[in-house]
Structure 1
Amino acid sequence: KERFERCLDLYLCPRVVKKKMNVDPLSLLPQLPSPSDLRPFPTTVGVDFKGHHEKVTDSSFNATGEVLATCAADGLRIWDTLSGCCLIHRAPTKAVVKQKNEEGELVEVEVDVSPLCVAWHPKYADILAVGTDNGTVELLRPQCVKAAPAAEEEEESNDEDSDDEEDQAAGARRISSSVDLLEPAEEGEWTAITDAPGFEGLLIKADERADITKLTWHPRGWYLSHVAPNAVQVRSQCVIHNLKSQKTIRPFSKSKGGKIQASAFHPRRPQFYICTQKNVRLYDLKAQSLVRTYVSGAQHIMAISVFPGSGDHLTI
């Protein structure tokens, strides 16, 4: 009887019939629209900028869009955007650094200094920031570019008043033109560049042992930040430069979440974004505190862009 009941349970147990579907994989692909429905889109090359013999690492248009700056291991070039003509070429410069020889002694060695990143000033169309592989930032004013500032944007009066009070408290200089902006102070670490034919500007020494990979301007143009992920000291991975007072600020002594990869200023508030490989942190510069942390699903964040109007949106 027990054997019969077991066989009955097996016989009466529910069975599921799995239906196998034969689906063509090509039928799952979406139908591509006709190219004629996507017009207008570029079909021919407008301007070709030929001149670099090495890989181009960065490029930037100035505020008026009349010139383009590109950098590579073979130097810095400035182009006319309409004709594609190279207006000026600056070859890699020379610098003397201290390195250890085979015997472990520190000796002075002359090395080539190549540009890694470039960024034009958002207001003055003739000021160019250049980050090098020697840990220096150059603020250049090419003589081939017109010294005409870009159109001023409307800004809130409250922000302007607060910034003016801060500048007066910090002993900031009065800036009326790009020439005044690049005039070195009587005392300070910012020195004038004298060995660059066709250029005028300032040299900012940050860290000799770091490659500066990113440059970011504040929308008003008074602050410039640079990022050096491979800096030996954590405090040198992200540095902010004040152009009015010609002072360098290192706001972060520790970096949570890994090396800093990119940075950005909030266009309206005194807030600052920094990106590590997997998250974004928003800091309040006045309160010197962490405001918010954004966690993304990206494996490696390389760049960040903040909406220029209100600053309510960001893209990584």
Structure 2
Amino acid sequence: MELQPKSMELQGAPKSMELQPESREFPHHFLQEFPGIPSPFSPRIPWNSLTLSFRDSLEFSHPFLQGFPGIPSPFSLCFPLEASPRIPWNSLTLSSKDSLEFPHPFPCVFLWKHLQGFPGIPSPFPQGFPGIPCPPLTLFPVFFPLQDIRNTVGNIPMEWYQDFPHVGYDLDGKKIYKPLRSKDELDLFLEKMENPEYWRTVQDRQTGAEVALSEEQLELVRRLQRGHFGDVSFDPYEPSVDFFTHEVRIHPVTNRPADKRSFIPSLVEKEKVSKLVHAIKMGWIQPRKPKENVPTFYDLWAREDPNSVLGRHKMHVPAPKMPLPGHAESYNPPPEFLLSPEEELAWQQQEPSERRPPFLPRRFASLRAVPAYPRFIHERFERCLDLYLCPRQRKMRVNVDPEDLIPKLPRPRDLQPFPTTQALVRDFFGNMRLEFGGILGYGASGSRAGTEAEDSQEKLGKGADPSISWNPNPSICLVAVAVDEQVLLVNPGLGDRLLVAATDQLLDSWEAPEEERIQPVRWVPASPEERAKGIRLLVQHSKPVMQVTWHGKGDYWASVVRNPGSRQVLIHQSSRRWSQDPFRKSPGMIQCVQFHPLRPYFLVASQRSVRIYNLLRQELTKKLQSNCQWISSMAVHPGGDNVICGSYDSKLAWFDLDLSTRPYRLLRHHGRAVRSVAFHRRYPLFASGSDDGSVIVCHGMVYNDLLQNALLVPLKVLKGHAPALDLGVLDVAFHPQQPWLFSSGADGTVRLYT
């Protein structure tokens, strides 16, 4: 190991110190005389040839400097053991033209105070260098304790310590902690670029420290990569010496005398033979047992004996037995099995594969008169094809009681009260649907009810099917009625006078804004004649209005317009007389809309799906897939977590918003289209009206426990409406307080069930 010539500088040495070019030897009698410690410089190395390079492997390889108790390394204060390069003292040389430099941030000072003060060991420089004054002793106030980093855990898997902060224990039983590895990607990249020894640095699994491989170790790795032996001196192709050959030699390979047991009978073998002879005499052992003659060939169609070869196959499936003949195959079958001439002609016109039964039953006077069966060979051939080509499969028969497949539901009488009896019938202008809109509405208190008829009254006019919706706020007496292209806000004048006056005052308190705003509809105050009839405002739309519905607080309401393009849904505010279109793009053919009773959600039902929008965030929250062909109506549970939808394909879908976007239950109780669905506000009831003229009342219990699903039980089928023009029940609605149900039909009647 050599260095580039540099100026020699020793910290703490006087400036007048210079190295003489002549060779000098250091007396190391202190190491040679100390018992058990050989000299690190034996054979003695001249001082003028001592060099040190920071590119070479530096390691303390002498027991005096590494592990001898009580004697620290002279470099221990300059280089801590866990960070200092290891210096091989048996290979250190230094030249007069070189400088002793160490690539370390600590000052490199030779401190011999430990060696000078150790009892019994004199200093290696007792008289100093000849001609050069000895460098003064540099003292440090802090002394580093001795550390022995040798791991003494032995040859065990180091994965046992991967979850611990240490990697083993030293000779004193103290933990050897893992080195702190706080290097990020930038530090690793700089080390890779700046450290010339990076490519040969590996991690010691025993201690966790980084070790630079020596030249011998690198050469060993290269040889192993090339597929050579690790030992350089090993010759795999050296000439072999054949000790045992076919040639007879004069002298034997080994001249060992024969053992005594080689020519004396063994007593142990004698005892074993005696036992075997006794067992043969007693019949316990049969030395020549006759072998069982297993036939080489066996009958393929032999009977299925469990001891045979075929019986030992676990996957063998026997062929199914042929079905026994029935009454139709008798020579004298009963009369009901014989075909009439018309049935026989129809049987002959069918395809042979579609004929049921595949033969014509015949009647004979006696068994002697029965002719030969013409299909015998054909049936035997089909039987052989079935055995040859049809795969067989084992089917485990499960004995299940049919009663166990039916869900255990409570009895309807345990779920009372619910409407069961028709209590009131009222006719409206005949039985034509065009004369009766079939829309019901109720006040918030339940003390008033309203029906809408298309008659000659000036209050509603004539035209398309009207829609009516009562304001759910009990402090407001207001009804929204949709007739043709207008929505009338009507004060019916029912209830307390103060309530009626407060409603009129609320509508009249509106002040026109300074700047006129562009709206999709036109708000028109009622004329004195219309105001006398109870009409307060007229909201003029561009297309006929199909539905109106109120928000729970009673100020906002929405209308659905029969418009194939855009602006199918409009949201209005009565107090500000302001209307807006909430959608930039139409989500499809909108059938009906509903406000969520508790949250700022807006439910829009199209033909096949129900979209739930968040009005505050103005985004789509959820999309429900109805699995129906065409949605006709929709209702929201008062709790807000469940929705039911009726469809024209006679289905009723129950959605659990916390469970899935698919229907929780799909009820098919009706035979024809479902026109209307409704929830009760107080009782766990919901109803559906269909074109078959029936109203089905069901129990729908929703639990507060989110882990328990809703309980749906059909309760009662209410009949009374007569279908007219293929239409039956058009609308259903529950009383807000009592377990009563109102229904309107195409026959022009409104019926009350209690």
Q: 2:443 aligns with which of 22, 41, 62?
A: 62
SS in 2 for 1:182: helix
Distance 1:266 1:149, change over 3 A: farther
* 2:526 counterpart residue number: 193
Quote the Cα distance in structure 1 between the aligned partners of 2:555 and 2:427. 33
The superposition leaves residues 5-27 of structure 1 with CA deviations (integer Å, 9 ceiling, x where unpaired) of xx96xxx984335989xxxxxxx
Which of the two has greater strand per residue? 1
* 2:470 counterpart residue number: 120
Does 1:262 find its partner at 2:262? no
| Deviation at residue 298 of structure 1 after TM alignment | 2.1
Distance 1:46 1:177, change over 3 A: same
Written as runs of structure 1 = structure 2, the 5 A alignment for 1:70-109 is: 70-74=451-455, 91-93=459-461
Quote the Cα distance in structure 1 between the aligned partners of 2:467 and 2:495. 19
* 1:312 counterpart residue number: 641
Quote the Cα distance in structure 1 between the aligned partners of 2:606 and 2:436. 25
Distance 1:125 1:18, change over 3 A: farther
| Deviation at residue 148 of structure 1 after TM alignment | 6.1
Residues 428, 453 of structure 2: 8 Å contact kept:
no
* 1:136 counterpart residue number: 486
Does 1:295 find its partner at 2:625? yes
Quote the Cα distance in structure 1 between the aligned partners of 2:523 and 2:413. 56
| Deviation at residue 145 of structure 1 after TM alignment | 4.8
| Deviation at residue 69 of structure 1 after TM alignment | 1.3
Quote the Cα distance in structure 2 between the aligned partners of 1:74 and 1:232. 28
* 1:238 counterpart residue number: 569
SS in 2 for 1:303: strand
SS in 2 for 1:216: strand
| Deviation at residue 144 of structure 1 after TM alignment | 4.9
SS in 2 for 1:251: coil
Does 1:218 find its partner at 2:551? yes
Instruction: State percent identity of aligned pairs.
Output: 29
Unaligned stretches of 5+ in structure 1?
A: 1-6, 21-29, 76-88, 94-111, 151-175
Residues 428, 436 of structure 2: 8 Å contact kept:
no
Distance 1:225 1:41, change over 3 A: closer
Q: 1:250 aligns with which of 581, 594, 599?
A: 581
SS in 1 for 2:468: strand
The superposition leaves residues 75-106 of structure 1 with CA deviations (integer Å, 9 ceiling, x where unpaired) of 6xxxxxxxxxxxxx65543xxxxxxxxxxxxx
Unaligned stretches of 5+ in structure 2?
A: 1-299, 302-309, 311-316, 325-405, 517-521, 646-754
| Deviation at residue 58 of structure 1 after TM alignment | 0.5
Residues 125, 147 of structure 1: 8 Å contact kept:
no
More relative contact order, 1 or 2 (CA 8 Å, 6+ apart): 1
* 1:165 counterpart residue number: none
Residues 507, 575 of structure 2: 8 Å contact kept:
no
| Deviation at residue 274 of structure 1 after TM alignment | 0.4
Quote the Cα distance in structure 1 between the aligned partners of 2:610 and 2:589. 12
Which of the two has greater helix per residue? 2
| Deviation at residue 72 of structure 1 after TM alignment | 2.7
The superposition leaves residues 162-204 of structure 1 with CA deviations (integer Å, 9 ceiling, x where unpaired) of xxxxxxxxxxxxxx93113322543573221124242131111
The superposition leaves residues 195-239 of structure 1 with CA deviations (integer Å, 9 ceiling, x where unpaired) of 4242131111122x32x22211111111101112x314322x111
**What is the number of equivalent residue pairs in this alignment?**
244
